[in-house]
Amino acid sequence: MILTTGTAGFIGSNFILDWLASTDEPVINLDALTYAGNLENLATLQGDARHTFVQGDIGDSALLQRLLAQHRPRAVLNFAAESHVDRSIAGPEAFIQTNVMGTFRLLEAVRAYWNDLPPDEKSAFRFLHVSTDEVYGSLGAQDAPFTEQHRYEPNSPYSASKAASDHLVRAWFHTYGLPVLTTNCSNNYGPYHFPEKLIPLCITRALSGAALPIYGDGQQIRDWLYVGDHCSAIRRVLQAGTPGEVYNIGGWNEKANLDVVRTLCATLDKLQPRADGASYATQITFVPDRPGHDRRYAIDASRIARELGWKPAETFETGLRKTVQWYLDHPQWVANVTSGAYRQWLGQQYGG
C-alpha cells in the first residue's frame, strides 16, 4: 500500500480518486483537515476498503511512526502543505510550521522506518514530494520556461517555505540515501478546487453575481494544468522516476490572468447564461495588486516527456469546460465550502 499526506485537499483528493480508479492498491490518507481539507471530496469512496482516512498532522512524529509501523507502505507521497500565496502574505507562520517543520518531521519518521526495512523493500521504497514551480521565482516576458536546473528564487512566504521543503528532501537523499522524488508543478485547476484560488473563486463568484477581482493589470502569466493530468504525472514519476531526481510538470498552457477569467466568463455565458443576457465578463473588477506578485511562471515539461513518456491529455479549453461544468453540477459542494470561515477570508482579502 501507499501512504499519502494532505490528500483531503484539492490535488490530493483528485489523486486518491484517480489512484483508486487505476489500481486496487490501498491508500492510507493522512490529513489534518485544515480549512482546505474536505472529506466531501472523497464521499464517493465511502465504504471502499481500499481507502483509509486518518486525521492528523505531518508534524506529529509519534503518529507518523505508528502509521508507518502499522501499515508498512511501499511509498509515501507528501501533498500536505499550506498552499495559498495570499494567506501566506497575511500570516506566514502556518506555512513555516507545515511546509518546513512538517516536511522535516515527515522525512525523519520516514527515514527511521525506511532504515529498518529488509533490503529488497528498502531499495524499492520511494518518498515523493509534491512541490511547485513558484520556487523558481518570476520569469521575464522573453525568458525560457523553467527547467529542473533553474535556480531557486522564491519570492513569497509560500514559495520560500516550499523551497525550504524541497531543499530538505534533496538533503535527505544526498546525506542519508533516502530514495526521494520531487515534482515541481505549475498551476492546477479542476474539480474540488477550493474557491480561494483564481479559477474556482471566479466561477463561484460569477454565479453568485459578485465582482471578479483581478489583481493589478491582470497581465501576470501562469501555466495551467488540469488536475487529472497532474495526477497521472505523479503516478508515472512514482512508477519510473529516478531517486534523487526532480521532474517539472506543466501544461504548456501559458495564459494571462485576464484572459483566463475572460475565457471562463465566455464558457459560463454558454453553459449557464445570466438571466439578464449580459456577459459574466461585466463582473470583472480590477483591484490592488498582490504584494511581491510574480509576473510570469512557465514550465518546461520536456524532461518528464522525454524520460518518462508523460504528457498532458487536456488542453486549457477542454479542461476549463470540464471544470466549469463540474461546478455547475455540484452546487451543494460549493454551498458547503463557501460558508462561515470562507466568508471571513473573503472579507479580509477583498473587503466588503
Q: Among all residues, which ones are annotated catalytic?
A: 133-134, 158
Q: Which three cell numbers stand for residue 149?
A: 536546473
- Vertex 193 angle, CA 294 and 30, to 5°: 105
Q: Is 286 in the site for ligand DAU (CB under 6 A)?
A: no
Q: Which does 10 bind (CB under 5 to 8 A by kind): ligand DAU, ligand NAD, none?
A: ligand NAD
Q: Based on CB atoms, which residue is closest to ligand NAD, 250 or 283? A: 250
Q: Which of 75, 113, 110, 16 is nearest to 237 (CA)?
A: 75
Q: Which does 222 bind (CB under 5 to 8 A by kind): ligand NAD, ligand DAU, none?
A: ligand DAU
- DSSP for 7-24 reads TTSHHHHHHHHHHHHH--
Buried b (16+ CB within 10 A) or exposed e, 205-230: bbbeebebbbbeebebbbbbbbbbbb
Q: Which does 257 bind (CB under 5 to 8 A by kind): ligand DAU, ligand NAD, none?
A: ligand DAU
Q: Which stretch binds ligand DAU (CB under 6 A): 81-89, 100-108, 243-251, 316-324?
A: 81-89
Q: Between the CA of residue 82 and those of 163, 184, 217, what are the distances in Å? A: 13, 16, 27
* Contact assessment for residue 146 and residue 139, using Cβ atoms and an 8 Å cutoff: yes
Helix (H) or strand (E) holding 350: helix 341-350
CB of 65 to ligand DAU, least distance (A): 28
Q: Based on CB atoms, which residue is closest to ligand NAD, 81 or 212? A: 81
Where does this chain bind ligand NAD (CB under 6 A)? 5-6, 8-12, 31-34, 36-37, 57-59, 79-83, 98, 102, 130, 132, 162, 185, 187-188, 194
Q: Which does 5 bind (CB under 5 to 8 A by kind): ligand DAU, ligand NAD, none?
A: ligand NAD
Q: Is 197 in the site for ligand DAU (CB under 6 A)?
A: yes
Q: Based on CB atoms, which residue is closest to ligand NAD, 67 or 80? A: 80
Return all residues near 52 (Cβ < 8 A) that are at least 6 apart: 26, 27, 28, 29, 71
CB of 247 to ligand NAD, least distance (A): 12
CB of 271 to ligand NAD, least distance (A): 23
CB atoms within 10 A of CB 318: 11
Q: Based on CB atoms, which residue is closest to ligand NAD, 59 or 137? A: 59
CB atoms within 10 A of CB 68: 19
Q: Between the CA of residue 159 and those of 14, 99, 137, 190, what are the distances in Å? A: 22, 10, 8, 22
Q: Is 134 in the site for ligand DAU (CB under 6 A)?
A: yes
Residue from the set 73, 154, 213, 251 that interacts with ligand DAU by CB under 6 A: 213
Q: Which three cell numbers stand for residue 163?
A: 523551497
Binding site for ligand DAU (CB under 6 A): 83-85, 132-134, 186-187, 197-198, 201, 213-215, 220, 222, 257, 290, 297
